[in-house]
Amino acid sequence: MIHRQEKMGFLGFPIYRYIDIEDSEAILRAIRTTPPDQPIALILHTPGGLVLAASQIAMALKRHPGKKVVIIPHYAMSGGTLIALAADEIIMDHDAVLGPLDPQIQVGDAVYPAPSIIKVAKVKGNAARDETLILADVAEKAVSEIQDLILKLLEDRLGRDRALEVARELTEGKYTHDYPITVEEARKLGLNVKTGVPPEVYALMELYPQAIQQRPGVEYLPRPHVPFYQKERGESK
C-alpha cells in the first residue's frame, strides 16, 4: 500500500493520497484469499488516513493465522502505524519512521488533536462553551476507542499492562501528530522492529514516483561504479 503525497492542485489546495475504504476493501480481499498458513508481507508507505479503513486492515491482518510482516521503507504514519502494530514483525529502513496515533477531530475546515481538545476543556472548566464540551466528549471517546484497538493488537505479545502503556503514550498527546518515531524509539516501546529492508522493496518504490508538476528541488548524479576521482588525484587502487 503505497501512497505518494501527490499534489493535484484543486482551487489552489493540495489533495493528498491517504488510507481510504477502497484500500481497506482491496487489502481485506487479499487477506481473505490468502491460505491460513501462508505468511503475509505488507509494504507500507503512507501518511495515514481514515481510522475506519486503517482499523479494518489492522484487525484483518491480526486475525490471519500465518506470520505477518510489515515492511516500511520510508514512513508509515498515523493509520499506517496502526496497521504496523498488527504485524508479528516490522522491518524498517534505518531512517524510516512511524507516527503517533492521537485521533484528529475535524471542526469545520480545521482539524484538532483530540488530546488538545480534552486539555482545553479541562483548563476552561465551567467557563468552557457548550461546543467545546461536546468536542471534548467526542475526543475522549475517540482516544479511548483507539487505545482499546491498540490493546487488542498488542496485548498477546506485550502483555496487558505494557500494551496499555504503549497505547497511552501513542494517543494522549505526548507528541505532535507528525512526530517521527524512529527505529530506536519503536524498539523502546517493545515493538518487534528489525532493519534490513530487502533491495527489491526499494526497487518497487521507484515504480511509484512522486507526481512532479514543477522542477524538482533536489537533483543528483548517482555515484559512478568506477572511482575515477581517485585517479584524478593521482591515487591508484
Burial of 212 (0-12, 13-18, 19+ CB in 10 A): exposed
Q: How far apart are CA 211 and CA 147, in angstroms?
A: 35
d(CA 136, CA 117): 6
Q: What's the predicted TM-score (pTM) here?
A: 0.84
Cα(124)–Cα(87) distance, integer angstroms:
41
Q: What does the alpha-carbon distance between residue 159 and residue 155 come to, in Å, rounded to a whole number?
A: 5
Domain architecture of the chain: domains with CATH: 1-99+180-212 (3.90.226.10)
At 164-195, the pLDDT tens digits run 999 999 999 999 999 999 999 999 999 999 99
Query: Are 20 and 3 a contacting pair, CB within 8 Å?
Result: no
Each residue of 58-88: pLDDT tens digit? 999 999 999 999 999 999 999 999 999 999 9
Q: What is the pLDDT of residues 101-159, one digit of tens each?
A: 999 998 888 889 999 999 999 999 989 999 999 999 999 999 999 999 999 999 999 99
Give dist(CA 177, CA 101) in Å, integer: 7
